[in-house]
Structure 1
Amino acid sequence: MVRRLRYFLYRLYERFYEWRLGIFSDTEIFLDTYGVTDAACHQYIATSYIRFRQLMKLIDIRPGEDVFLDFGSGMGRAVVLAATYPFRKIIGVELIPELNERAVKNVQRALPRLRCRDIELHNVDARSFRVPPEVTVIYFWNPFSKHVLADVFGNIRQSVIESPRTVTIIFLSPPGVTSVDEIKDGLPWLAERRRFDLGPKSVAVIYTCEGDERKVRS
């Protein structure tokens, strides 16, 4: 009974924020619905409003300076949520055209309510996306297999080498061993800063990627 009540309140909270922002993103989608059968891509599950707000409390956002990038941005919920914070710019990267089109519509509907209105949505394979030198915060909600993730992390590292800076990476995943854990030995430049449970269905890990290797080892 208590569990059902908690779930009901959780769903009510999620629906309230959908209504408040004027968007539609509250669904789960198996990608084969859109003809994507590549096992390297995981199903679309919208970021929880509650979880996202918890995560934002754990990082120091520099108003008007930090740029947020969401890999696997889907219908744009995390993009819209990030834009309610004082980021300078928000970028979303999504492989599936239909999901990206919905994200564009969601951003358009939510725009009057957002603090950050400089938003870019890219319909492209994450492996071929060149991480802009301005990006300082990167968000993942377990969108890829470890093989795709390794390529994407390699692109992040290349961006930091070319434009030295500190990049904060937020990785949200189901409990247990994450995709990052599986490839961590090949990422000596990636420093895990914090790991914590967000309820029974997800775990969050905060990493940093430094332009200065000495900071990674500290």
Structure 2
Amino acid sequence: MPSHFLAAPILPTVPKARDLLDRLDNLRWDWQLGIRTRGVVATTKPDANHYATMGYRFVGRIVDALSLGPDDVFVDVGSGRGRVLCCAARRTCRSVVGIEYAPDLCRDACRNAESLRGRRTAIAVHNGLAESFDYSRATVVFLFNPFGASTLDRVLEKLRADRDGQPLRLAFANPDASQDDVFRRHSWLQPFDRWEKQIGGAEHGVAFHHSR
């Protein structure tokens, strides 16, 4: 038998096979929870990044690391179709809130919130600008890189003003160098953990902070 037949792959390469298994796992979770959250959606808003999802298992790891309790108000900034909202709402906390600029994504998130199986906490979705939202009740904030450094700076300043010294925990997934610089300038926030991409199974880098 010619040697090139021996070298020809019978199955997808390991990374491709892993990607396929991840997609199937996310489809299974969507079906199990009774929601539809997949897809990538571009945005025309300046300084905004396109909507994309991260894997359910990784979302669960982040939510677990934020240690939600019954008195927490969880806010997802740039909540898209609501995958993270739905995962958080299957924990017991005071409320789960999404902020999303795109009306179509807000409508999808509201439908998913209504159809979610296993919900323990109510979900509210707000259509608007993240830098204009009232964060006075927020105790835990999650962001999956929804916008660039300029908007992030304004949102963190709004968080500082609205919380007015009250405790806050925050996770920012997939940060770049410019966004890390913004966090360093906001000295009212203190980093307490950081996951690097592909280390320990991390799908994305995640920076965790809490208020001083």
- Listed one character per residue, the Cα deviations across residues 109-132 of structure 1 (whole Å, up to 9, x for unaligned) are 11x42111x221100111111113
- Listed one character per residue, the Cα deviations across residues 30-87 of structure 1 (whole Å, up to 9, x for unaligned) are 11xxxx242x10010123212111112323222x211100000111111111101112
Task: Give 1:120's match in structure 2, choosing from 118, 121, 124.
Answer: 124
Distance 1:178 1:205 in 2: 13
Aligned counterpart, 2:106: 100
- Dislocated runs of 4+, deviation >4 Å: none
Q: What is the CA-CA distance between 1:98 and the residue it aligns to?
A: 0.8
Q: How does 1:56-71 map to 2 (within 5 A)?
A: 56-62=63-69, 64-71=70-77
> Gaps spanning 5+ residues in structure 1: where?
210-215
Contact 2:80 2:106 in 1 (8 A): yes
Distance 1:151 1:94 in 2: 16
- Name the Cα RMSD after superposition: 1.6
Identity %: 25
Aligned pair count reads: 197
Distance 1:37 1:58, change over 3 A: closer
Aligned counterpart, 1:213: none
- Listed one character per residue, the Cα deviations across residues 130-168 of structure 1 (whole Å, up to 9, x for unaligned) are 1133x111000000111111111011101221xx42110
Aligned counterpart, 1:204: 206
- Listed one character per residue, the Cα deviations across residues 16-35 of structure 1 (whole Å, up to 9, x for unaligned) are 1010111111111111xxxx
Aligned counterpart, 1:12: 24
TM-score, normalising length: structure 2 = 0.87
Larger Rg over CA atoms: 2
Distance 1:203 1:56 in 2: 14
Distance 1:25 1:172 in 2: 18
Task: Give 1:3's match in structure 2, choosing from 15, 32, 35.
Answer: 15
Distance 2:97 2:77 in 1: 9
* 1:160 and 2:163 are equivalent in the alignment: yes
Contact 1:51 1:198 in 2 (8 A): no
Structure 1 SS opposite 2:172: strand
